[in-house]
A and B are shown apart, each in its own frame.
Chain A
Amino acid sequence: MQRHSTLLTTAITACTLAGAACGVQAQTSAPLLPSSVKIVSSLPRTGSANAQTTAMVNGIRMALTEAGGKVNGVEVLYEDWDDASPQRGNWDPAIEAANADKGIADAMVVAYIGTYNSGAAKVSMPKLNAAGLAMVSPGNTYPGLTKPGTGEANEPMVYRPSGAINYFRVVPTDDVQGFVAAEFAKTLNATKVFILHDRELYGKGIADVFNKSAKALGMEVVEFDGLDTKAANYKAIATKVKQSKAEVVFYGGTTQTNAAQLAKDLLAQKVDVKLIVPDGCFEEAFIKAAGTNALEGRCYITFGGVEPKLLGGQGKVFYENYKRLYGMEPEAYATYGYEAAKVVLAAMERAAQAGSLSRSAVLKEIAATKGFSGALGTWSFDENGDTTNKVMSVNTVKNGDFETVKVIGN
Chain B
Amino acid sequence: MFDWFDSDVLLQQLLLGLSNGMIIALIALGYTMVYGIIELINFAHGDLFMLGSFLALTLVGAAMNCGLVDPALMGESSHWWLLGTLVVVCGIFCGGLNLCIDHFAYKPLRRASKLSQLVAAIGVSFIIVNLGLFWGGLPMEVLGGGGAAAAPKDFPHLVSDVNLLGEESFVVMTWNDVVIFVVTIPLMIGLTLFVKFTKLGMAMRATAQHATAARLMGVDVNKVIAATFAIGGFLGGAASVLYANYNSTVSFQMGFRAGMDAFTAAVLGGIGSLPGAMLGGLLIGLVRAMSDQYVGSEWTNVVVFSLLVLILIFRPTGLLGLKQREKV
Closest 10 CB pairs of A and B: A236-B292, A48-B151, A226-B298, A291-B154, A289-B152, A285-B151, A230-B257, A236-B289, A47-B150, A233-B247
Bound-state Cα–Cα, A264 to B250, Å = 13
Q: Is A260 engaged at the interface, CB distance under 8 Å to the other chain?
A: yes
10 further A-B contacts with Cβ under 8 Å, apart from A89-B252, A226-B296, are A47-B150, A196-B297, A230-B256, A234-B292, A243-B6, A255-B151, A264-B247, A264-B248, A288-B144, A289-B153
Interface residues on B, range: 35 or more
Once the chains bind, are B293 and A232 in contact (CB under 8 Å)?
no
Whether B297 contacts A289 by the Cβ 8 Å rule is: no
CB contact between A233 and one of B75, B130, B246 (< 8 Å): that residue: B246
Task: Note all chain B residues with C-beta closer than 8 A to A46.
Answer: 150
Q: What residues of B have a CB within 8 angstroms of the CB of A226 in the complex?
A: 296-298
- Give Cα A196 to B251, complex, Å: 22
Residues of B within 8 A of A240 (CB): 2, 9, 292-293
A46 CA to B151 CA in the complex, in Å?
A: 10
Most buried by B among A86, A234, A239, A289: A239
Question: Closest chain B residue to A199 by CB distance?
Answer: B298
The distance from the CB of B11 to the nearest CB of chain A, in whole angstroms, is 10
B63 CB to nearest A CB, Å = 17
Q: Does B13 sit within 8 A of A, measured CB to CB?
A: yes
Is the CB–CB distance between B300 and A228 below 8 Å? yes
The residue in chain B whose Cβ has the minimal distance to the Cβ of A231 is B257
> With the chains together, A285 CA to B149 CA distance in Å?
10
Question: B158 an interface residue at 8 Å Cβ cutoff?
Answer: no
Q: Are A289 and B151 closer than 8 Å at their CB atoms?
A: yes
Is A244 an interface residue when CB atoms closer than 8 A count as contact?
A: yes
Which of A46, A86, A199, A227 counts the most B-chain CB atoms under 10 A from its CB? A86
- List, sorted by A's number, 13 A–B pairs whose CB atoms are closer than 8 Å: A222-B1, A230-B253, A231-B300, A232-B257, A235-B16, A236-B293, A239-B293, A240-B293, A264-B154, A268-B172, A285-B148, A289-B152, A289-B154
Q: Please, which residues of chain A bring their CB within 8 A of the CB of B9? A: 239-240, 243
CB within 8 Å for A225 and B297 given contacts A232-B258, A261-B249: yes
Q: How far is the CA of A226 from the CA of B302 in the complex (A)?
A: 13
With A and B bound together, what is the CA distance between A25 and B243 in angstroms? 73
Interface assignment of A237: CB less than 8 Å from any CB of chain B: yes
Q: Across the interface, do A227 and B297 meet the contact criterion of CB distance under 8 Å?
A: yes
- A228–B297 touching, CB < 8 Å: yes
Digit string of B292-326 for contact with A (CB within 8 Å is 1, else 0)?
A: 11001110110000000000000000000000000
Write the A190-208 contact mask toward B (1 if CB under 8 angstroms, else 0).
Answer: 0000001001000000000
Would you call B252 and A289 a contact (CB within 8 A)? Answer: no
Chain A interface residues toward B at CB < 8 A: 46-48, 50-51, 86, 89, 196, 199, 222-223, 225-228, 230-237, 239-240, 242-244, 255, 258, 260-261, 264-265, 268-270, 284-285, 288-291, 293
Does B152 lie within 8 Å of A48, measured CB to CB? yes
CB neighbours of B219 from chain A (8 A): none
**Interface residues in B48-93 (C-beta closer than 8 Å to A):** 75
A269 touches B172 (CB 8 A): yes
Q: Is the CB–CB distance between B301 and A228 below 8 Å?
A: yes
- Say whether A293 contacts B75, CB under 8 Å: yes
**Structural contact, B152 and A261, CB atoms closer than 8 A:** yes
* B152 nearest in chain A by CB position: A289
Contacting pair B12 A261 (CB below 8 A): no
Contact A270 B172 (CB under 8 A): yes
CB neighbours (8 Å) of B194 from chain A are none
- Taking CB atoms, residues of chain A closer than 8 Å to B42 are none
Residues of B6-32 contacting chain A, CB below 8 A: 6, 9, 12-13, 16-17, 20, 23
Chain A CB within 8 A of B277 CB: no
B147 at interface (Cβ–Cβ under 8 A)? yes
Q: Which of B173-198 contact A (CB under 8 A)?
A: 174, 176
B296, A225: Cβ atoms closer than 8 Å: yes
Q: Cβ of B288: which chain A residues have Cβ within 8 Å of it?
A: 231, 236
Given A232-B258, A236-B292, A243-B9: A225 touches B298 (CB 8 Å cut-off): yes
Checking B16, B163, B251 against A270 with a beta-carbon cut-off of 8 angstroms, the contacting residue is B163
* Cβ contacts under 8 Å, A288 to chain B: 144, 148, 151, 153-154
Q: Once bound together, how far apart are the Cα atoms of A268 and B12, in whole Å?
A: 13
When distances are taken between beta carbons in the complex, the residues of chain A under 8 Å from B247 are: 232-233, 261, 264-265
Confirm or deny: B133 has a beta carbon within 8 angstroms of a beta carbon on chain A: yes
A289 contacts B249, C-beta separation under 8 Å? yes
User: Contacts of B257 on A, CB cut-off 8 Å?
Assistant: 230-232
Query: When the two chains form their complex, are residues B249 and A260 in contact, meaning their CB atoms are under 8 A apart?
Result: yes
A379 CB → nearest B CB, Å: 31
| Docked pose: A222 CA to B2 CA in angstroms | 9
B-chain residues with CB within 8 Å of residue A260 when the two chains form the complex? 152, 154, 249
B268 within 8 A of A: no
Q: Which residues of B contact A230 (CB under 8 A)?
A: 253, 256-257
Please state if A48 and B144 are interface contacts (CB–CB under 8 Å).
no
A233 to B2, CA, bound (A): 21
Give, as a whole number of angstroms, the nearest-CB distance from B94 to chain A. Answer: 18
Question: Nearest chain-B residue to A243 (Cβ)?
Answer: B9
Expressed in whole angstroms, the minimum distance between the Cβ of B292 and any Cβ of chain A is: 4
Contacts of B12 in A (CB 8 A): 239
A225 to B95, CA, bound (A): 40
A148 CB, nearest partner CB in chain B, Å? 28
CA distance A231 to B251 in the complex (A): 12
CB pair B151–A51 under 8 Å, yes or no, is yes
A244-B2, A261-B247 known; A89-B154 Cβ under 8 A: no
Is B39 positioned at the interface, with any CB of A under 8 Å from its CB? no
Chain B 253-293 near chain A by CB (<8 Å), digits 1 or 0: 11011100100000000000000000000000000110011
Give chain B nearest CB distance to A219 CB in angstroms. Answer: 14
CB nearest to B133 among chain A residues: A86
Whether B129 is near chain A, meaning CB under 8 Å from some CB there, is yes
A260 to B288, CA, bound (A): 20
Taking A228-B300, A233-B246, A237-B292 as contacts, is the C-beta distance between A243 and B152 under 8 angstroms? no
Instruction: Give every chain B residue within 8 A of A199 (Cβ-Cβ).
Output: 298
Which residues of A have CB within 8 Å of B297? Answer: 196, 225-228, 231, 234, 236-237
Smallest CB separation, B130 vs chain A (Å): 7
